[in-house]
Structure 1
């Protein structure tokens, strides 16, 4: 009895020390990333769009006024463009320059037009393939020190226009993938007129020191906020009301050193999707893995909460998600998806202190997304999930699926509580998956003593 007591104490202390070590490592990793991120430096100079003829009456086309304001800022070397209260129709994109803050004051709404001819072709990425397509509503490339702030709203006005292209996109979608696989030069991947790939609402490319804060995002044609090949970004206190097809809230692609915090998601697809290029092209950019990303203190509502993939061929690593809570139903809470077209890897993922309500699946890793592809299995390893709860999983609480020749490895789930689940766990083709304190359904207590009738029956 004495030896058993000593062993119990040793095991308890060992688990306690291990848990503290995991917490310290996670907190140190988060702090290191956050301290490295730089906020944009914006000169004191400012202008109002009203000074350039803008009218917030929802009727006038304010494209020229916003272009003139941006030119004035560029001539000065930077500054703030102030957008006062009002509804500003803009038939065409806003193209950013460096060292500028677009400040939308309370009650300001940017309402973008839906005529494709108003949106010139720009270098972008569509589902992980670089190409030229219609400009996003707000766009910038090769910039530094850029910000969108204030309590205003950016409205893509897409539900009765761009959103309808979803049904028309398949031919162009397949063409872009073919160009990727065949290595067609990017300069020859021309879409736009006669094609039906929807543009993003907000996109910055190859830019650094970015702040997007406080704004509300609505009615996007495609992905809402897309950072492509960006470095050092803070996305803070955003709000969403975007429910069209593929209205991902935040997409990070080939990007690093990003802080996402205090965001209230309510969008029609993934809340956060971390990506890194697709297939042949993504694998050729293995030095541009998406990495060093922190998401914390966010409210989740949409299709999926936290997603990695499926376009992740350059790799995804060093990801921290902490202290987030659902304020509505989700299809999947935590979702990692790839297939044998992708290659690449997912590793060093730390997810902790997540509180979800009703989901279909709480935690889902699949190396067979859409059941397609061959020849380029992805490597998934070093995943740490701690202190996650859900009220109900109508599908399966935990799913981890690798391949026989490319197993999912080194996954640790600690303190997972699902109060009710249709199915508990599916695990296939894995190695070194560990569970500590995982409860699915009602927690088992002290075993009951067999009754006389049961003894007789058995």
Structure 2
């Protein structure tokens, strides 16, 4: 009796500790409020110029690179302001590099269409799949800038489908080289790619920057990731629309970035909708003070490969993530996907997901510490994951997957109010501790148990 009593006490203490680790609704709202208070919208001076005044022509033929550069220089001289891009199609043979205190405003009907010729894009400091290096400039780029915005109802077009996309089949050698440089600690200044290499640039990227607003624009046809915030802080992304279906066309990638609001975004892209990252392997672990954290995503429409993703490059850590009130409006392979492997290290913790509506997916919720089955020696710590009120019409694979390692278990996961209408497989749960299910239904909900008939009893 004494042993049973001790076991019961231990279970009660364990359950209490899990529940107490989870923020209650009031505390979550307070945490979200604190993040929003820290996010500053860019302060843009009232001065405005039009690219037309600097010789730009929206005729789809003229090269407007010099016009955009001159407009940016004029704004810088005045201490900041807005660059207006009127309706029309503006071909730009090369990148647009931001300075501080600038809003690039694309009026309705305006389209910036970038050249697909690599020779127009100089080398800049960037990262590629979690490793810092020098590569072709992203098409819109800013490094060490603040108070910057891209707004308006226009379109940013990477024109990559028939050009840069072909590099996907050529990138493996450089991909492996960048990882080798990461693992061996090669100085960043010596990690030179660009001509003769095949790492595709991002469409839009800000690095080491703060007070960023990107609002309402449509993003199309990116060479690689669509919108990449690297080592940034105080970011607002709202009202964006996507039509980007090339290889690795992630919608939004946040890397080593904190204090972010993403809302009312309509995703339609060829890879992850939102991917939260924090560096790769040795380099990522050496930047543990740059964890991606304090990120809010709400009221978004999901369509693409995966909806909400953490990883796989997350070696500096990811924490304090709030995803809520989102739903799919088209195909998704996985709705919620957290992925890492023993090359990464780092951690994922304090993740809150609630009010998600999914249609037909392969997997509704998938946590894995064995992504691609590769790596050794640096297991990640995954803990404090809370999923509340998720519905899905069907899982053609497995509704819920949670898999850690024997010596590095996934811990303290709570799923509440989960309803999956139909699933090929219900659950795969292995190498975990303290996983709690409350009000979880996979398949048809069971009702009152039927009584056995006389014939059934006689057969027993």
Q: TM-score, normalised by structure 1?
A: 0.96
Q: Where does structure 1 differ by over 4 angstroms across 4 or more consecutive aligned residues?
A: 17-21
* 8 Å CA contact 2:22, 2:386 repeated in 1: no
Secondary structure class of the residue paired with 2:29: helix
Q: Is 1:369 aligned to 2:371, yes or no?
A: yes
Residues 316-356 of structure 1: per-residue CA shift (max 9 Å, x gap) = 00000010010012100000000000000000000000000
Per-residue deviation, 1:39? 0.2
Residues 153-204 of structure 1: per-residue CA shift (max 9 Å, x gap) = 0000000000110000000000000000000000000000000000000000
- 2:59 maps to what in 1? 57
Whole-angstrom CA distance in 1 between matches of 2:36 and 2:303: 25
Q: Is 1:196 aligned to 2:218, yes or no?
A: no
Q: Is 1:300 aligned to 2:299, yes or no?
A: no
Per-residue deviation, 1:23? 1.9
- 1:406 maps to what in 2? 408
1:131-210 equivalences under 5 Å are 131-210=133-212
Give the counterpart of 2:266 among 264, 267, 273: 264
Give the counterpart of 2:232 among 227, 230, 233: 230
Whole-angstrom CA distance in 2 between matches of 1:202 and 1:457: 69
Per-residue deviation, 1:451? 1.1
Unaligned runs of 5+ in 1: 1-13
Residues 355-376 of structure 1: per-residue CA shift (max 9 Å, x gap) = 0001100000000000000000
Per-residue deviation, 1:259? 0.2
Unaligned runs of 5+ in 2: 1-15
1:1-80 equivalences under 5 Å are 22-80=24-82
Whole-angstrom CA distance in 2 between matches of 1:291 and 1:19: 18
- 1:211 maps to what in 2? 213
CA RMSD after TM alignment: 1.3
Per-residue deviation, 1:25? 2.2
The aligned length equals 443
Whole-angstrom CA distance in 2 between matches of 1:183 and 1:299: 40
Whole-angstrom CA distance in 2 between matches of 1:85 and 1:259: 29
Per-residue deviation, 1:433? 0.3
- 2:11 maps to what in 1? none
- 1:355 maps to what in 2? 357
Per-residue deviation, 1:27? 1.6
Whole-angstrom CA distance in 1 between matches of 2:391 and 2:100: 43
Per-residue deviation, 1:103? 0.1
Residues 382-427 of structure 1: per-residue CA shift (max 9 Å, x gap) = 0000000000000000000000000000000000000000000000
Whole-angstrom CA distance in 2 between matches of 1:46 and 1:361: 49
- 2:417 maps to what in 1? 415
Per-residue deviation, 1:21? 6.4
Whole-angstrom CA distance in 1 between matches of 2:67 and 2:227: 24
* 8 Å CA contact 2:256, 2:277 repeated in 1: yes
Per-residue deviation, 1:22? 2.4
Per-residue deviation, 1:26? 2.0
Per-residue deviation, 1:34? 1.1
* 8 Å CA contact 2:113, 2:157 repeated in 1: yes
- 2:4 maps to what in 1? none
Secondary structure class of the residue paired with 2:178: helix
Whole-angstrom CA distance in 2 between matches of 1:455 and 1:110: 75
1:236-247 equivalences under 5 Å are 236-247=238-249
Give the counterpart of 1:220 among 219, 222, 238: 222
Whole-angstrom CA distance in 1 between matches of 2:107 and 2:380: 45
Whole-angstrom CA distance in 1 between matches of 2:225 and 2:21: 37
Secondary structure class of the residue paired with 2:113: strand
Per-residue deviation, 1:448? 0.2
Whole-angstrom CA distance in 2 between matches of 1:91 and 1:128: 27
Per-residue deviation, 1:226? 0.1
Whole-angstrom CA distance in 2 between matches of 1:146 and 1:20: 36
Secondary structure class of the residue paired with 1:330: coil
Mean Cα displacement is larger for which, 22-31 or 328-337? Answer: 22-31
Whole-angstrom CA distance in 1 between matches of 2:311 and 2:21: 29
